[in-house]
Structure formats: C-alpha cells, structure tokens
Amino acid sequence: MQEVKIYEYAVIRLVPKVEREEFFNIGLVMFSKKEKYIRVEFHLCPHKFQLMHSEMDFEDILQNLENFRHVTNGEKAGGEIAALDIPERFRWLTAVRSSVIQTSRPHPGKTKDLDTTFERLFEELVK
C-alpha cells in the first residue's frame, strides 16, 4: 500500500493589467517537503493572450515563465533564489506580488501519487 503524501500547490496566473485584477490561469506549481518534490508546468495559449488586449509581449512573458521554471528546478540560470532549498523556493515563488505573473495562495492536499495529482490539477485548473 502506498503512503499518503502531503503537498501544496498554487495556480500561476497571468494578470495583463494588474490594476484591473483580471487574470487567467497559465500554470501550476506543486511541492511536497517530505518527498523533496517540486514541479511546475505552463500552458500559455497565444489566442487567449491576444484576447486580453494587452500591451505585453508574448515572448517576454514566455521568457519570464522560463525564469520561473529555472527557479523552481533549482537551475543556475534562476540565480540566487534557485540555490535555496525546495520549501524556500516554493515560498518565494508563491509570495504575494503585484506583477503580471502571480500565483494563487497555496492550497494543501494529500495523495498517493504526486505526479498523477499534478496532472489532474493541471488539466482541471489550467487547460
């Protein structure tokens, strides 16, 4: 029998005009301290992006998301924050900020399979 794993996740949002507080979901980040697990995925639909009537550049947003990925994965390209341990990186990534890429508040959960749960949440909340 598989052991139950405790995790937290946050939805990654694109907020084209921060002052209007309108957003759409573009990704998910999940972490489990005990399992030393952290994972992030994005899906930025170009058509939906254009519908937001934003002055943002699509390629700039993609680059910012790649930087988010570098930090999540602890890659050198993510700078000093990427060198932190997994819980600290997750807390930094999910900290409240007023930028065009934001996250929801973290939500807890429990599962027997982190990857399967990640895929289900990504499908339900992002795609």
Q: Sketch the domain layout of the chain as residue ranges.
A: 5-125
Which single residue is written with the structure tokens 């999940």? 30
pLDDT of residue 119: 98
Q: Which residues of the chain have pLDDT under 50?
A: none
Helix 86-93 to helix 58-72 angle (10° resolution) is: 150
Predicted local distance difference test score (pLDDT) of residue 53: 64
Distance CA 50, CA 111 (A): 36
